[in-house]
Structure 1
Amino acid sequence: MFSFRVILKAKDILHMGRCLSYITGLLLFLGSVGNIEAQTPSAELLDDVIEVCETGEFQIRIRFTGVEPFNAWIEFSDADEESEWNGERGPAHGNVDAGPPRRLVGGIYDDNSNMSNGIYTYNTTFAEGWLNRTREVKINIVEFFHGEVNGDWIIGQGESQNIIGELLVISHQRPAPFAGDPIDQCGYSTALNAQPDPVSTSYWWELVDGASFGENNSDFANPNALFTVETEGTYDLKFLQENGACTPVESEVQVILKGSPSGEIRTNSEVCGRGDAEVEIELLQGYGPMEFIYQLNGENFIHTGDPGNSYLFPHESVSGKAEFQLISIEDVNGCFAAESQLLGEAVVAELTPQLSAGEDEIVCGTTFSLNAWGEPGDGAWTSQSAFATFSDPDSGNSQVEVSQYGDFVFTWSMDNEGCEASDQITIRFVEFPDLIAQLAEDRICEGDETTLTFNAQGSGPWTVRLNDDDISFGTAVFNQSLSPEQTKNYHLHSIIDTYGCETTFDDLVFSVSVDEMPSPYAGNDREICGESIQMSAVPSIGSGTWSGSGSFNYAADPTTVFYPDPFHELAAHTLRWTEVNGVCTAYDEISVTFYHEVEPMDVDAGEDIEAYHQFTINLNAMTPPVGVGTWEILSGEGSLLNSNDPKSEISGLTFGSVALRWTVKNGICPEISDDLSIEVKGLIHPTGFSPNEIPDGFNDRFVIKGATHISNNRLMVFNQTGEIVYQKQNYGGDDEDYDDPKWWDGRDSSGNPVPEGTYYFVFTGDGIDPVKDYLVIKR
């Protein structure tokens, strides 16, 4: 067996303002156990967490296995933040920038007093820099050595395997609570103002006999708890706070509660309306002498007294129900009574009965249940009217009955020990309304209406309930229109007047029968070529009849024959088909126009026309006695001025033929036509004529057909010597009248007959070539 020693050096960690100092001056003497059988070398931290209070001691326990002596590098580091370090840094001496501090534990022999069964125990205390703060430090074994005596164990050459465990050391800051400033005040409660240290949230007030922190000490953990005492006095309160492994720290504050005075006010005074009264005030607790104030009708009365005494104060002419109020008590300490300590009430009793006769009412009928009340005392109903009777005049709920309608005043009077009072009500008794109803017509036609007349009695306006409808009106006589779509019964249920009085009717029923309205159809309007028509009405319901200006074979027959009387050409006859069903009447009308047939003899377009150099002609058809005539150009050229004028002008003619047709039509009767032709020729003249001294009406004048239609024309006649024997400006007459004096009769310009012989003429005018020819005159 052998033994030897190894020195363990380590430093604690200092962290102030994110700075960590070393745990210094730790000299560890470690021992070993002899005769340790050969085992796998290892180093194990046996504890996981150690909690201490600031400078409290803690132990680091390491189990070594293997061959002694043992040594190890131990690393100290912050558990919750990156630290800034002052002084040396590991992993080796002098390596300033390599990381957290590391310390060598070396030369641990079996005779070390802190070594037992391979477990080395190191007792230490936090450095002074760890005071008044909370800190967590992790401790790890970086490397360990075994079976070797070496005073300079170099990191990196030891064992880094088989290192077990990690130790967390938690240092709790000792709290510094503040119980608050001393309190000296009136009353029995105060709000505390302790200030706990923010290092922890575990704090409380130490309970006190005869006092409470909040209701039933429910708020003892509140720094600002309401502290309440049963009796005034001085109280030393303790506020405690703990933090982790640190034992509770206490802070004391002195609280002086001087209490507050109290008193009670009362009175036994009674008055009838107004009288003398007395108020009593008793001072219950507090420090005397005390000043107290009571009030009556807004006026303050100030007095002094001592607790435990009662004081009486008389007052004159106090009204009933007046109230004395205790409003303030102040003791010698300047403390005032709280509102809850101003006790009692002092109301002067009013002997005058308090009563009400009830509300004014409007009553339907002649009876009413009164509803008076009052106290104290006895009451009775009276009335100045001889028409009112009370069933029980001493009862506030008496029935009253009147024998006529109108307004009645009733008085309810009460007597309380000679103190009397009364109240009045006015009741208006109203007669129930009544109604007389009369139906104007009990049978109407579909779509029509009848009238139900109401004759109301009572006070209007009224509302009548008819079937499910409410009908309101303000006049005594009112007409209600009824327009049922089919036969219907109307039940008159009730009438209500303006006061809400209602009269009901049991069997008042009005029945209105409704006849169906016919839907007659007389047929369509028609035009007839002739002097009779067969009607074509379509009957619907009821009976029907034809009417109109004329005669019917059988007027009740929808398809009878009608003859107009008298017959008027182009006159439209209005014929009515009327149907009657009960009280319903309806009709439908048609318009019938009758036309005469056109006779062929009444249609004449006139004689065919030959025109000579005439391009506008007035036609000459016969004016039709009936109907309307119309010209139509069948062929050729021309333009009609009015195609319906039998004497219409036709213009725009040209040389040649024009065919026209004159058609007469009367309504729907067959039309009749007649044709006309017009032949337009050029100028036509003879080469001789035989004027007689006495005209025989045959060939007596020189006729140039068409000359009249040549504007600005001129006729010159020459003898064989070239002498002008006759000339005429705008020569011409009627083409068809050979005796027209406008034609030349063979006389010269002096009016003398020219000799027989051969002459020459020249005819000129606008729009024509000159006409030159010979002319033989023979007498």
Structure 2
Amino acid sequence: MFIFAETDLFNPSFNYRNRMEKLIFRFFVIFLLAPFSLLAQPTGVLEAVGATSFCEEGKAEFKIKFTGTAPFGYAYKTEYSDGTGGITYLINFEHQIFLNDPNFDAQGWYHFKVDFNKSAKLSLFKVWDGSMILPWDKYLGAVVTDQSVDISVYKTPAPVIGSYAPACGTSIALNAKPDPMSSTYHWEAAGGTFSNDQIANPVFTSNAQAEGVFPLKFIQQNGVCLSEVTTNVTLQATPKATLSGSKDVCLVSNATYEMDVQANLTGHAPFSYEVTDGGSQPITRSNQSAGNATFKVPATAHLQTYRIAWVTDANGCQAVAADITGQAVVTDLSPTANAGADVAVCAKTAMVSGSHDKGVGSWSFISNAPGAVLDDATVPTAALTAQQYGVSELQWEVNNQGCVHADRVTVFFNEPAGLALIKDQLTVCEGQSVEMDLSLTGKAPWRVDYTDGSQTFSSDINLSPASIALDNKESANYTIQKVTSADGCVGYPDALFPVTVEPLAPANAGADQVLGRAYAVELSASPLDLAGYWEVDNPNVQLSDVNDPLATATRLVVGKNVFRWVTLATVCPSTSDEVVIEVSEYTTYRGFSPNGDGINDFFEIDGINDALNGELTVYDQNGKQVYNKRSYDNRWSGEGLDGHPLPEGIYYYEYRSDHHEALRDYVVLRRHSATSHP
């Protein structure tokens, strides 16, 4: 087999005058013989044999399954990942690929190999077989599609694992630098574990908190290429320390104590460490051996506690906080007594409440209010009762293993603030002064808070009994809310003091009236909220209620009817007022002429303007009703019930209204001009 050259198409010895003639001749022959060469088209199937991925470079093996008539020829195309490539033609005129070719396997696949140093795609491009009439040419082969194999060639990564100084403790932070070409890597180690072996910067921790030298391995993979780098890390154990010691003291002024403490150190000696009680003068000890060491420290403070602040070993490693344990404690046995704050009560019973941190306490009297006693002097909280108001001073003393401390408290028994109304209510006439009289108990002076419901007032009172002036122009209900004495005692009497202000209102019997033919009237006196009664000068006149300012008067007489309204005040002077109701007769006319001349066109009754619910009914001479009008308004013009004009003649009428006697008479209706006659 060989790479076919384009100039050896049919006869290598044929001599063309120029390249153009060669091409023309070639295409002429192809044109004439093409129909015969396409009678049978060979095909091929391409597959890879073995690996298709390589590290740096490799030889890939492929196989082709030909379909057609032997012998066969083929061409493949190589497309590299960097954009280069080409077509390789494998066409053999003298030694074509026959089925007995040693590169065929038992299943009829033809095998061949290709070298690669970069990733590529290899595709079966064309196939030739013995059925082709034309000589084999790269332009006449049967094109093959969709027969390709991808070949991957990977580069070897070059990670950097780094070097590490000895670390204090059993852990060390790592920081490898993987090659950017790949993100697949991991750590391996014996004698320890990683916080995450899939990252570049994990923390390595030795097993069982051991120290020593540990080999580490960082492995990075890029496809089928694998790179491995190693290093050693040294872990040095940190020191450990424990402090112990205790002392009980009863601290007094100018006393000096010391406490023996023991420090136990393990690790790489010599050690340096610091002991402190949190104050400003720590104790530093250097060049110390491993094991127990005993030394003295001052014991001068209440509940003083010493601890080891830090420890450094021969390697310069410092102890971690969790490895520094224990403490040395100075315990002060001196108790602290607290009798509590001074107590002021507005009663004869009070509670005292002492406290202490340790030991046993008891109460005793320094000074005493008359008859004051404790219910139990051995308990911190006790009840103190006095027979009279006054002052008691007590002491709460605590003893703890011979250490004693005492504190005092003063109790004030104050008389409660109280208040009582001397008068529980008050009624005055409008314009009179108002005073609220009080009796107070407790220590003077007092402050009294009270309200009228809309606003709140305060009054300071120096002596009891006392009066508080109220500014009242109308009735009000005062409530005494609180009274406060000079010693702070507060009382809440919630006393109610109603004040009634009676108005000084003169009686008003109402306006005089003139009524036509009335026999009843509704009176209208004021003020309505003030009691009173009516007086009448005519004994025949009757009233619905002599005490009602809006009473109805009946049986009025023609002429003047005089009524007098007299008020009945409780504290204000009585007043009276008169009203005159004058009753007059109706004035009627014997005839009218509704002819539209504007003179005497309507039937009129003088004096009905003040009548209530007046009604006019008209009858003919046979007694038949011919007209009716409720709320008559002096506008009848001679029409009948049907609205048509009535004939001239004499008609009888009746006029009725509330509180008036009925009026009955006759009237003459004429259509021509007539003079009315009363």
Class of the TM-score when normalised by the shorter of the 2 chains: 0.5 to 0.7
Q: 1:265 is aligned with what amino acid? A: L
In the alignment, is residue 299 of structure 1 matched against residue 277 of structure 2? no
Deviation at 1:76, TM superposition (A): 2.3
Match of residue 99 from structure 2: 110
Aligned-partner residue type, residue 401 of structure 2: E
Match of 1:169 among 151, 161, 168: 151
For 2:86, which of 101, 120, 123 is the aligned residue?
101
Gap change, CA 1:437 and 1:178, over 3 Å in 2? farther
AA in 2 matched with 1:213: F
* Aligned residue runs from structure 1 range 158-557, under 5 A: 158-160=141-143, 163-209=145-191, 211-214=192-195, 219-229=196-206, 230-247=209-226, 249-273=227-251, 274-296=255-277, 297-304=279-286, 308-315=290-297, 318-387=300-369, 388-438=372-422, 441-443=425-427, 452=436, 456-458=440-442, 473=458, 475-476=460-461, 479=468, 503=491, 509-511=496-498, 539=526, 540-542=528-530
Task: Show the counterpart of 2:620.
Answer: none
Deviation of 1:324 (Å): 2.4
The change in CA–CA distance for 1:431 and 1:118 in structure 2 (over 3 A counts) is farther
Cα deviation for residue 278 of structure 1 reads 1.8
Check if 1:75 corresponds to 2:84.
Answer: no
Match of 2:662 in 1: none
Give a deviation string over 1:366-417, Cα, whole Å, max 9, x none.
3233332323321112220133422221211222223444554432221122
Letter in 2 for 1:121: H
Q: TM-score, normalised by structure 2?
A: 0.61
Tell me the number of residue pairs that the alignment of Structure 1 and Structure 2 aligns: 503
Deviation, structure 1 residue 124:
4.1
Inter-CA distance 545–369: structure 2 relative to 1 (3 Å threshold): closer
Whether 2:124 is the aligned partner of 1:141: answer yes
Q: Aligned AA for 2:236?
A: K
TM-score under structure 1 length normalisation: 0.54
Residues 700-755 of structure 1, C-alpha deviations (whole Å, 9 max, x = no match): xxxxxxxxxxxxxxxxxxxxxxxxxxxxxxxxxxxxxxxxxxxxxxxxxxxxxxxx
Equivalent residue number for residue 42 of structure 1: 43
Counterpart Cα distance in 1 of 2:204 and 2:68: 66
Checking the alignment, whether the CA contact within 8 Å between 2:474 and 2:500 is kept in structure 1 is no
CA distance in structure 2 between the aligned counterparts of 1:276 and 1:261, rounded to whole angstroms: 31
For residues 212-265 of structure 1, the C-alpha deviation after alignment (integer angstroms, 9 at most, x for no partner) is 433xxxx33232222333122211112222233345x33222111222212122
SS for the counterpart of 1:420 is strand
The CA distance in 1 between the partners of 2:70 and 2:262, in whole Å, is 97
Q: Specify every segment of 5 or more residues in structure 1 that has no aligned partner in the other structure, as ranges.
A: 1-5, 10-37, 86-99, 526-535, 547-551, 559-576, 590-779
Structure 1 residue identity aligned to 2:382:
S
Change (3 A) 1:317 1:269: closer
Q: Note the C-alpha offset of 1:457.
A: 3.8
Residue 433 of structure 1 and its aligned partner are, at CA, apart by 2.0
Change (3 A) 1:289 1:64: same
Structure 2 SS opposite 1:180? coil
Please say if residues 194 and 205 of structure 2, whose CA atoms lie closer than 8 Å, have aligned partners that are also in contact: yes
Partners of 1:587 and 1:220 in 2: CA distance:
114
Gaps of 5+ in 2: 5-38, 513-522, 539-546, 551-564, 578-678
Aligned partners of 2:395, 2:322: CA distance in 1, in Å?
A: 45
Question: Which residues of 2 match residues 492-641 of structure 1 at below 5 A?
Answer: 503=491, 509-511=496-498, 539=526, 540-542=528-530
Q: For the structure 1 residues 155 and 544, does the alpha-carbon distance in structure 2 shift closer, same or farther, using more than 3 Å as the test? A: farther
Distance 1:228 1:581 in 2: 108
Question: 5 Å matches for 1:681-700?
Answer: none
* Percent of aligned pairs sharing the same letter: 24
Partner of 2:676: none
How much does 1:186 deviate?
2.2
Partner amino acid for 1:324?
Y
Deviation at 1:123, TM superposition (A): 3.8
Post-superposition shift, 1:272?
0.9
Q: Which has the larger radius of gyration?
A: 1
| Alpha-carbon spacing, 1:436–1:543, altered in 2? closer, same or farther (3 Å) | closer
CA contact (8 A) 2:451 2:457 kept: no
Is the CA contact 1:75–1:103 (under 8 Å) kept in the aligned structure 2? yes
- How far off its partner does 1:270 sit? 1.5
RMSD after superposition: 5.2
SS at match of 2:204: strand
Local SS of the residue matching 1:183: coil
Pairwise CA distance, 1:351? 0.9
Q: Which amino acid aligns with 1:258?
A: Q
Contact 1:275 1:319 in 2 (8 A): no
Distance 1:499 1:122 in 2: 120
Once the two structures are TM-superposed, the CA of residue 39 in structure 1 deviates from its matched residue by: 8.9
